[in-house]
Amino acid sequence: MIKILHFISDTNIGGAGRLLCNQIKNMGSDFEISVALPKSSLLISELCSLPCSVIALYHGADRSFDPSATAEARKIIKSVRPDIVHSHGSLSSRIAATSLGIPCRIFTRHCTFPLTRSATNPISRLILGGANNILSSSMIAVADAARQDLLNIGCDKKKIHTVINGVEPVRELSADEKELYRAKYGISKRDFVIGIFARLEEYKGHKTLLQAAKICKKYYPNFKFLIVGGGSLYDELITLSRELDLSDTVIFTGFCEDVAPLFNMIDLNVNCSYGTETSSLALSEGMSLGIPAVASDFGGNPYMVKNAVNGLLFPAKNADALAMAIIRMYRDTDLYSKCSAGAIKRYREEFNAEAMARKMTEFYKSEYEKSKK
């Protein structure tokens, strides 16, 4: 049995945490899995129901590097004695594993941001790439865009492996249940519902969506925009919605632990990111229900959403283009049906949790065998 020790420093339940849970749920019995994460992490309750051991961390919460967290990680690694240390946004654990001579040290790149010129100059590439190459025996990119980021900062291409994110299918509600939930939010049968499932942060592009909603409202007052999630921009976005006279058009749900009913309420799934997007779990979840997407052309979105196949793409930060894409998807019923079928097809072929876990199983076994040699 191969012993895997994961380190994750997030206290909230973000994409990395949900991805890790999906992976653990679908891994076979060939692995003994432990997860070390902050004692205040919201992810702990979910992990406790999965086949893994949970280890509480007292240092390094929401920080990639912390000297105290490095010392703590060393103690945990010595205690667990894993075959593989897998780090998710935790530089401290990578340093600890390297210092202890763990041969199999995996690092996952979960996000992508526009890289600055200084980050990709020869000196920075030598430092950043060199550090990653030393601290990691292998790296996983969850999208081609993340892989390109790693290459741009000087990481060894032979060490980079791409494994696309996969999610569990969203449970489908009956027609009567859907109508009950829609009525709860004041949504009628004639309304066309556009949903966005993302943390309310600047780079997720909610302001672009509100500007597009203002345009859409002029032509189609039956459009409703469902904004699901919490974050630092919550109050600011509500204020902007009122200023744009969208109080009867935009619905803020706040953070919802169970998003299945909300996915079942929407007709169109939107992603407006211009930062940190690799392979969006929310896009995959929508596809599992056959919901077409309208997504920005940033990061991994163009890989996930193929124009007029399972959705439409628009230039990031362009509210006019976003509004036109939403309206086109509403008016062109043939296109909508085609993209709905395409969404289910892409989910079943590539974006499901079983496919991801199968690839990760093969990867772990391969890396373990290499480390033994």
Domain range annotation of the chain: 2-167+353-372, 175-351
* Cα–Cα distance measured from residue 135 to residue 350, given in angstroms and rounded to the nearest whole number: 30
- Per-residue pLDDT for 173 more than 70? yes
* Cα–Cα distance measured from residue 149 to residue 260, given in angstroms and rounded to the nearest whole number: 32
Start-end of H helices in the chain: 15-26, 44-47, 67-80, 91-99, 122-135, 144-152, 175-184, 206-219, 234-243, 260-265, 281-288, 301-304, 319-331, 333-346, 353-372
Whether residue 181 contacts residue 200, with contact meaning beta carbons closer than 8 Å, is answered with: no
In the structure encoding, which two tokens stand for residue 128, read together?
């950043």
Mean per-residue pLDDT for 89-108? 97
Partner residues linked to 293 by β-bridges:
269, 311
Q: How confident is the model at residue 15 (pLDDT cuts 50, 70, 90)?
A: confident
* Cα–Cα distance measured from residue 306 to residue 71, given in angstroms and rounded to the nearest whole number: 46
Q: What is the pLDDT of residues 236-284, one digit of tens each?
A: 999 999 999 999 999 999 989 899 999 999 999 999 999 888 899 999 9
CATH class of 2-167+353-372: alpha beta
Whether residue 166 contacts residue 25, with contact meaning beta carbons closer than 8 Å, is answered with: no
- Per-residue pLDDT for 372 more than 70? yes
Burial classification of residue 160, based on how many CB atoms lie within 10 Å of its CB (0-12 exposed, 13-18 middle, 19 or more buried): buried
Mean per-residue pLDDT for 5-25? 92
Q: Output the CA angle 320-111-154, nearest 5 degrees.
A: 115
Burial classification of residue 327, based on how many CB atoms lie within 10 Å of its CB (0-12 exposed, 13-18 middle, 19 or more buried): middle
Topology of the domain covering 175-351: Rossmann fold (3.40.50)
The average confidence (pLDDT) of the chain is 95
Q: Within a 10 A sphere around the Cβ of 243, how many other Cβ atoms?
A: 11
- Per-residue pLDDT for 14 more than 70? yes
- Per-residue pLDDT for 117 more than 80? no
Evaluate whether 2-167+353-372 and 175-351 have a shared fold: yes
Whether residue 86 contacts residue 8, with contact meaning beta carbons closer than 8 Å, is answered with: no
- Per-residue pLDDT for 157 more than 80? yes
Mean per-residue pLDDT for 82-99? 97
- Per-residue pLDDT for 228 more than 80? yes
In the structure encoding, which two tokens stand for residue 180, read together?
């009950």
164: region left, alpha or beta (phi > 0 left; psi from -120 to 50 alpha) = beta
Q: Which amino acid is at 204?
A: K
SS3 7: strand
- How distant is the alpha carbon of residue 219 from its chain centre? 33
**311, 314, 304: which is closest to 338 by C-alpha?**
311
* Cα–Cα distance measured from residue 137 to residue 121, given in angstroms and rounded to the nearest whole number: 24
294: region left, alpha or beta (phi > 0 left; psi from -120 to 50 alpha) = beta
Whether residue 302 contacts residue 277, with contact meaning beta carbons closer than 8 Å, is answered with: no
SS3 52: coil
The pTM (predicted TM-score) of the whole model is 0.89
Partner residues linked to 193 by β-bridges:
224
Q: How confident is the model at residue 373 (pLDDT cuts 50, 70, 90)?
A: confident
SS3 311: strand
Percent of the chain residues past pLDDT 70, beyond the cut: 99
Q: How confident is the model at residue 119 (pLDDT cuts 50, 70, 90)?
A: low
Q: What is the pLDDT of residues 129-142, one digit of tens each?
A: 999 999 999 999 99
